[in-house]
Structure 1
Amino acid sequence: MVDKNTAPKDDGTVRPMPLFYTNPAPLDSKRHANLALKKNFGFDYASDVNAVPVNMIEMPQVCHFYPIAFSPDENATPVAIMGLRDNENLFVNNKGTWEEGAYIPAYIRRYPFIFSELPGSDQLTLCVDINDKVTEENGEQKFFDTDGKPSALAQNALEFCKSYHAAAQQTLEFSRYLAASGLLVDRKAEIVVAGNRRINFAGFRILDEQKLTQMDDKDFLEWRKRGWLPFLYAHLFSGSQWQRLTRLLNEKLEKEDSKKK
């Protein structure tokens, strides 16, 4: 399935596989005539990651549930922090269920679909991560109907990926501007949890609130003109969610300790 939107030209460099994806392939009505999405495959695929990228437009929702930080590279990608230890998402339980009531970032909801640019083409193509955990042959939720046309499921996935792609492009502009602004600072955190255990958390950047308040009027008005101020404040508000992560980890550690007794 191909979208009419165009993507940036491929520069020939090898890019790593996107987070979660192992075998993304373009959906094809002939090759995948009987392929279907498994029902209720859960969130096990996200259970061992402690941070995921978020788009700028969802930061006002994300800030109510997760701390928002920025990657240390020149892109300064905004990410939602979901765990304090490596390979641990505190919002997914051992049944593959997300914590009730918590906002689920679009990057996670998009899976197993993703846009990709085919070699020799500048069009975005809808792909699906084909693996036994999320797809099956002759299942109920097929990607194509008997006439070889995209099913409602595939059409909805295409529209979602189109919206996600547009939001991601806006986010890239925002985050690169932020990275060049000098407002970000490297951050390290030491968090004390149950049993007086200490966890060191590093490798991310946050907004320096003092630098923000001292910004000159011209720069401040530029941020306002671009409509980006609410997203800076969403990041600042999200700082209170570190306490939520600490609470969730303490609850998990207490359960683990009780099982050992």
Structure 2
Amino acid sequence: MIRYTPLDATLHRNAGLQAPPPGQGPFRHAAAATASRLVVSELDQALAYYPLGFREVPGDSRFDLIAILSLEPGVNYFVSPEGKWRAPYVPGWFRGHPFRLLPKEGSDQHMLCVDMDNGGYVAEAGVQDQRFFEPDGSATPQLQAILKFWTAYEGDYHKTLSQVRQLDQHGLIVPWQIQLQDGEQQPTRNLEGFFRIDSRKLDACSGDALQELQVSGALRLAHAQLLSMPRMGGLVEMMRLRQSGLAATAPTAGFGLGGDTLDLSFLRS
């Protein structure tokens, strides 16, 4: 369960976070995530390791830019059993855990909040723990860095939403029809819920439309998504390794383009 609570210098004067136990990584909370929200400032790093796509926001008419982390529900191929991340770049959405910058009710202001049920929160921080506040009530340097991170992330997220909305308004975001086969004797199944850029529609855009997309940065985002699509082959290989019980012995599987041995027919353009 996630329970975000605004941090308060009085109520949480002595609170903090415990470090993970020895040998444990800090990303156990992401073990069941099949995708991660991304912002445009992450494109260069994320493109190297993940297939990028879009996902509908529940109860809304917009899309989020995402990194796809799994082809199976309830499992994240990039998190080891010890909670360590299996790729050199970790999406900011998970690096900023257990904090979030959330809007204050009835106001356009935001508050830095912490998930009280994340497992690391302690009301009385010890010597080895990361405290939120100094004895005088001011934020510790670590908490100031976290606030700076989430403030920048929030601004970048709105920039990302604007670019994604622009691509959608031009009709460039379409369902990504991905077909998977769990075994040679098994029927194919469709993986639902992911969206992609339609390369043919992008090629058919007018010069004015392309200039508009270029000026806003949306064209770069569209190209990044298209260039990332072969990374889906790596996820297929990671799924096969996991199903065969070999995932733990090949933690870096899927970080390349997939190689010639993978069937990439599910990448429909």
Whether 1:218 and 2:208 are equivalent positions in the alignment is yes
Cα 1:120–1:183 shift into 2, 3 Å: closer
The superposition leaves residues 46-97 of structure 1 with CA deviations (integer Å, 9 ceiling, x where unpaired) of: 1101012111221232121111111246312111110001111100011111
Runs of 4 or more off by more than 2 Å in structure 1? 117-122, 192-200
Equivalence for 2:175: 186
Whether 1:81 and 2:65 are equivalent positions in the alignment is no
Relative contact order (alpha carbons < 8 A, sep ≥ 6): 1 or 2 greater? 1
Say if 1:57 and 1:167, in contact at 8 Å, map to a contact too: yes
Equivalence for 2:45: 61
Say if 2:213 and 2:219, in contact at 8 Å, map to a contact too: yes
Alpha-carbon distance in 1 for matches of 2:167, 2:144: 35
Cα 1:123–1:176 shift into 2, 3 Å: same
Equivalence for 1:48: 32
Query: For residue 43 of structure 1, what is the amino acid of its counterpart?
Result: F
Spell out the pairing of 1:198-237 with structure 2 (5 A cutoff).
198-237=188-227
Equivalence for 1:6: none
Alpha-carbon distance in 1 for matches of 2:228, 2:139: 40
Alpha-carbon distance in 2 for matches of 1:196, 1:229: 41
Query: For residue 215 of structure 2, what is the amino acid of its counterpart?
Result: K
Say if 1:183 and 1:211, in contact at 8 Å, map to a contact too: yes
Alpha-carbon distance in 1 for matches of 2:144, 2:135: 15
TM-score (norm 1): 0.84
Say if 2:49 and 2:87, in contact at 8 Å, map to a contact too: no
Aligned length: 237
Question: Which residue of 99, 105, 118 corresponds with 2:91?
Answer: 105
Whether 1:157 and 2:146 are equivalent positions in the alignment is yes
The superposition leaves residues 185-241 of structure 1 with CA deviations (integer Å, 9 ceiling, x where unpaired) of: 112211234565545311121111011111111111111122332211110011011
Equivalence for 1:25: 5
Query: For residue 40 of structure 2, what is the amino acid of its counterpart?
Result: M
Equivalence for 1:246: 236
Fraction of identical pairs, as percent: 28
Cα 1:247–1:196 shift into 2, 3 Å: farther
Alpha-carbon distance in 1 for matches of 2:35, 2:67: 5
Say if 1:188 and 1:203, in contact at 8 Å, map to a contact too: no
Indicate the structure with greater strand content: 1
Alpha-carbon distance in 2 for matches of 1:97, 1:206: 29
Say if 1:194 and 1:253, in contact at 8 Å, map to a contact too: no
Tell me the C-alpha RMSD between the 2 structures.
2.1
Question: Which residue of 107, 119, 127 corresponds with 1:121?
Answer: 107
Say if 1:115 and 1:124, in contact at 8 Å, map to a contact too: yes
Say if 2:166 and 2:213, in contact at 8 Å, map to a contact too: no
TM-score (norm 2): 0.82
Say if 1:76 and 1:178, in contact at 8 Å, map to a contact too: no
